[in-house]
Structure 1
Amino acid sequence: MTDRFHPLAAGSGTAIGLGTGDRVRIRNAHGGQVVDTWAFARPDPAEHLSMEHTRTTLERITLTVGDHLLSSRRNPMLALVEDTSPGVHDTLVAACDPARYASLGARADHPNCADNLRAALRTAGQEVPVIPAPLNLFMNVRWDRDGHLTWLPSPARPGDAVVLEALMPQWLVLSACPMDVNPINGHRPRPVDYQVRTRAPSLS
């Protein structure tokens, strides 16, 4: 167990190895920052956190404390055990990537969450053939009755945090989203930090 918070620079990513029962607190150190979040099973990263399977099982597109988030094989993979933020998180939107920035008129080599995921997993000795849709923590995407989406600044305040518990051994990948073209990060990406608490081994 550790009480130390690890910094995650604005626009960067990291992969965290977790065992069953380990918990990660992801904290919006300065407020207003989206964190793209993925999970990949160990030892088989072909099984990954799936927003579409999670939405199907929850029968909603929003999350609340106590929810289990499912894998692409419909296995419980993560639990949302604490949320001190306004509770606004996105389960719909794909990670930003070079093509997304090009479509917005930015340079195609703009830092992006898809490349952050690949780089973070490479440091863990893993490769993935596709980029699954992430859980976009603290991201404020509104929809109207006609199904149109609106991109709004994150309402997360300084110090707001969520705690995720691993329900299987996995790599948890975080990306402090570098988006500065639309307003989801208030046009100014910021660093976040995270804390890992490992499950105490059983004495039995």
Structure 2
Amino acid sequence: MNQRPDIRQSETVLIPARRGIAAHVARGRTIQVINTHGKQVVDTWAFNADDIAEFMSMEHSHAALLKLVPKVGDTLVTNRRRPILTVIEDTTPGIHDTLIAACDVHRYQQLGAEGHHDNCADNLCLALQALGLTAPEIPSPLNLFMNVPVDPDGRLAFAPPTSEPGQHISLRAEMDLIIVFSACPQDMIPVNDMQPTDAHFAIV
């Protein structure tokens, strides 16, 4: 599992297909997440660098924003209701997901997978372990580029991402934090257009 605590400013870093990566980010820096091939979901977590028990929370962010999907200018908050990441740029159509839990071994068993299947929950834990850290739990991720349309009757669906190759979203760190990405390995429903691929990020 890759980890890069020593990332240089503006260096473009690979998020390998089906794998995870973690990095330290200083307050005020910007994280640019690039959908390199256009149809790849990137599960995203952020943890307080000084106290990993504090982390970006989709539930608390819903209450703070009164939105299902953050837009440019919106700030996501932690489970202690403090600012942690602000969306400052988005060149995609703005379709992201904050509702769906990270895929895990149980999800793939329910979908009929036999044997081991790569999953975002394991990717989070392994990426943090590479930095000498243990995930306190598996928080619900910010699923960048994921397309989960909500019908008027409240029903959800899984659809391919609407982003195009090279489009990106930029997030400003509102505290010293640890960012974790997983290039989602889901290949049994169309959230990655059925073909998981690499993505990239840069800290600028």
- Residue of structure 2 in register with 1:201 after alignment: none
Gaps of 5+ in 1: 198-204
- Residue of structure 1 in register with 2:133 after alignment: 126
1:103 to 1:46, Cα distance in 2 relative to 1, 3 A: same
Query: Deviations for 1:3-55, whole angstroms, at most 9, x for unmatched residues?
Result: 32111111110001011001111101111000000001011110000001001
Residues 1:184 and 2:176 aligned together: no
Rounded Cα–Cα distance in structure 1 between residues aligned with 2:178 and 2:9: 18
Structure 1 residue matching 2:127: 3-state secondary structure: helix
Residues 44 and 180 of structure 2 are in contact (CA less than 8 Å); yes or no, is this contact kept in structure 1?
yes
Q: What amino acid does structure 2 have at the position aligned with 1:10?
A: A
Q: What amino acid does structure 1 have at the position aligned with 2:16?
A: A
Structure 1 residue matching 2:157: 3-state secondary structure: strand
- Residue of structure 2 in register with 1:173 after alignment: 180
User: Which of residues 35, 42, 46 in structure 1 aligns to 2:49?
Assistant: 42
- Residue of structure 2 in register with 1:148 after alignment: 155
Residues 1:59 and 2:71 aligned together: no
User: Which of residues 80, 83, 86 in structure 1 aligns to 2:90?
Assistant: 83
Please give the TM-score of this superposition, normalised by the length of structure 1: 0.94
Please give the TM-score of this superposition, normalised by the length of structure 2: 0.94
Gaps of 5+ in 2: 1-7
Same amino acid, percent of matched pairs: 45
Q: What amino acid does structure 2 have at the position aligned with 1:156?
A: S
Rounded Cα–Cα distance in structure 2 between residues aligned with 1:20 and 1:183: 35
Cα displacement (A) at 1:143: 1.2
Rounded Cα–Cα distance in structure 2 between residues aligned with 1:68 and 1:185: 26
Rounded Cα–Cα distance in structure 2 between residues aligned with 1:92 and 1:152: 14
Q: What amino acid does structure 2 have at the position aligned with 1:146?
A: D
Q: What do you get for the CA RMSD once the two structures are aligned?
A: 1.0
**Runs of 4+ in structure 1 displaced over 2 angstroms?**
1-4
